[in-house]
A and B are shown apart, each in its own frame.
Chain A
Amino acid sequence: MLSIKNLHASIGDKEILKGINLEVKAGEIHAIMGPNGAGKSTLASIIAGNENYEVTGGEISLDGEDLAELAPEERAHKGVFLSFQYPVEIPGVSVTNFMRTAINETRKANGQDEMPANEMLKLIREKSELLEIDRKFLSRSLNEGFSGGEKKRNEIFQMAMLEPKLAILDETDSGLDIDALRIVANGVNKLKSDKNAIVVITHYQRLLDYIVPDFVHVLYNGKIVKSGGKELAHELEEKGYDWIKQEQEA
């Protein structure tokens, strides 16, 4: 589904990604771990099409289609979803209205009619129940005055609404208490199918107890330096990232 080949990217003069290779197939969950500053969030942003970064080499494709020339919204229309580490506040636009706009723009781009209002309401009800979100919450302005946990839960609610092909969860566990973490993870697991794929970006192993990855990759200094199964996450939890750093510098 997602294929990244020898990806190089920089911001200004600073090279952040130095040759990433990653293959994610439908039905898989991949975890990308690594110390702060390794380039994890940059990688997520670049897959989603953030134009602040310059791709200087390599390629990213989704189901064989090169994403290089596509704007962020075009990538979204093709099924790429990024759960933000720091979701943005939009005063005056309710969660419901924002979702309605997002869904209908996506449908329009894919040559479909707008979703009928009753269908939309049904979908909202279903997905808000999945994430145990109070209906009142949905009429509040998007992310405005939300706690860290509420913001993250709202991100996964949006993911549930949009049903993406490829979901990238960037530090979704940060700011979540243990109960919220369980709800969010449960939501993600229910959304998982053999037709979609999930990339979990995290600093800690904690989230991976709930969203169990098929593959774990360690990103360090702009490169994937180690890949393995879920046991790699436990090893990192025990030994910390210094072990990787030493190995790399040796």
Chain B
Amino acid sequence: MDLKEKLVSSFMAFEERVDVHSELHDVRTAALKNFENKGFPSKKEEAWKYTSLNAILKNDFTVFPKQENTVQYSDVKKYFLHEIDSYKVVFIDGIFSSHLSATTHEGIDVCLMSSVLNKPKYKEVIDTYFNQIANKEESLTSLNTAFANEGAYINIPKNKVADKPIEIMYFSTGSEAALLVQPRNLIIVGENANVQIIERHQSLNENAVLTNAVTEIFAEKRAIVDHYKIQNDNLTANLIDNTYVSQKEESSVAVNTFCFGGNLTRNNLNFYHFGEHIVSYLNGVTIIGEKQHVDHYTLVQHATPNCESHQDYKGIFSDRATGVFNGKIYVEKEAQKTNAFQKSNNILLSDKATINAKPQLEIFADDVKCSHGCTIGQLDETAMFYMQQRGIPQKEAKALLMYAFTNNVIESIKIPELKQRITKLIASKLGVKMGFDL
């Protein structure tokens, strides 16, 4: 039985286990049907031309892990931003871990999705937001929706500022030879509310993992959301991240993706505008090697006038690594005075590394400023010579230059401790210990 058949046939058992009477039943059933019709995406589809899931899907994935696994905080402390206090929503093999988490219902909601999906008091919120911005046609998103049960639920009400960052953490322990997890996050940020979120998927050993995550973010009027995705997983881990952002007027949402690890990573990042004077930021730093594969697939749907979007993706590829950047900017007829910018700058450090960069601009308004720039190059020789001339050896000079290359994205990190962490991660990825803390 292949994975698709296995998933479809286990759906009924899954629904029995969660709550078949819930109104979500219809949503799940429709989603499963869409997945059943479309199946896993293949390279025949334009959107998946450069990324193949075939090899991964051959694994005999366990769809529901059998038991709850315990993990000691001391074993996983390093994955948290432990230098500062934070709210934590932590899952182990897809199951909520209360002892590793620090949730709250005081003023803001930071808790687990399963309890929200089942409690009557959240029914209205679920009806209003759940699966509302996620793409119902996209088969992997549908697959997640069909089995949506667990993940993080964050609700920052009107005029509230989350007093500390929220960490959403998914660990896989490798107790199964191969595990499929499908986290579902719902993030609602009310009018004038403000939140910083860090999201990470981390496997704790070398067993195969496939994560098919869906995150819906709703930013109400003047809300400010900073979302950081740290992707530094083992080489046996695969991640398909589907993130959908809905923005109302004057809101500002930044999604920053730091991608260093994993075997295959696909980031589907989608922004939809519903109101004027919206600002969206999509930033990414990708540093990969060996046979790693990272695919950034972005969409910004400009539907309303006077909005801005800024995309800035930096990629450094060595060995036989492959990268994909597909950035789509869609400016509807009504979206006059749109400012939409997109940059994808890439450095190839080896002859065998490849990057496929494809900007797609579809503009139907006539008074807009849109630009895109994709560059693919090697390190600047003059800059190398300059640094070597000052006594900095070639290897360190290279690392410094690559760090400089990623700098403007690093600068956009608003949590200083996180910025320091990412900087150190980058230094270690570049294989150097600098004479100072970068």
Binding site for B on A (CB under 8 A): 45, 48-52, 71-73, 75-77, 80-82, 84, 86-88, 90-93, 97-98, 100-106, 109, 114, 141, 158, 162
Q: Is B128 interfacial (CB 8 A cutoff)?
A: no
Most buried by A among B391, B393, B404: B391
A118 to B401 alpha-carbon distance, docked (Å) = 27
Contacts of B387-429 to chain A: CB distance below 8 A: 387-394, 396-397, 400-401, 403-404, 406-408, 410-411
For A48, what are the chain B residues with a Cβ–Cβ distance below 8 Å? 385, 389
Q: Is B377 interfacial (CB 8 A cutoff)?
A: no
**Are A104 and B388 within 8 A (Cβ)?**
no
A51 to B388 alpha-carbon distance, docked (Å) = 11
A198 to B159 alpha-carbon distance, docked (Å) = 65
Binding site for A on B (CB under 8 A): 380-383, 385-394, 396-397, 400-401, 403-404, 406-408, 410-411, 434-436, 438
**Are A105 and B435 within 8 A (Cβ)?**
yes
Find the A residue at minimum CB distance from B388.
A72
Find the B residue at minimum CB distance from A143.
B386
User: Of B393, B394, B400, which contacts A93 at CB under 8 A?
Assistant: B400
**Are A106 and B391 within 8 A (Cβ)?**
yes
Distance in angstroms from B411 CB to nearest chain A CB is 7
**Are A76 and B436 within 8 A (Cβ)?**
no
**Are A98 and B386 within 8 A (Cβ)?**
no
Find the A residue at minimum CB distance from B393.
A73
A73 to B398 alpha-carbon distance, docked (Å) = 13
Distance in angstroms from B111 CB to nearest chain A CB is 38
Q: What 11 new A-B contacts, CB under 8 Å, besides A71-B394, A162-B390?
A: A50-B385, A86-B382, A88-B387, A91-B404, A102-B390, A105-B391, A105-B435, A106-B391, A109-B391, A109-B393, A141-B407
A223 to B33 alpha-carbon distance, docked (Å) = 81
A148 to B143 alpha-carbon distance, docked (Å) = 58
For the complex of A and B, 5 pairs with smallest distance between CB atoms: A92-B407, A72-B388, A76-B391, A106-B391, A102-B390
Distance in angstroms from A198 CB to nearest chain B CB is 16
A-B contact pairs, 5 of them (CB 8 A): A51-B385, A71-B388, A88-B383, A97-B438, A102-B392
Most buried by A among B385, B389, B410, B435: B389
A73 to B395 alpha-carbon distance, docked (Å) = 11
For A87, what are the chain B residues with a Cβ–Cβ distance below 8 Å? 386
Find the B residue at minimum CB distance from A103.
B391
**Given A101-B396, A101-B435; A76-B388 close (CB under 8 Å):** yes
For A71, what are the chain B residues with a Cβ–Cβ distance below 8 Å? 388, 394
**Are A101 and B394 within 8 A (Cβ)?**
no
**Given A50-B385, A102-B390, A102-B391; A91-B435 close (CB under 8 Å):** no
**Given A50-B385, A77-B391; A90-B435 close (CB under 8 Å):** no
A109 to B435 alpha-carbon distance, docked (Å) = 14
For A101, what are the chain B residues with a Cβ–Cβ distance below 8 Å? 392, 396, 400, 434-436
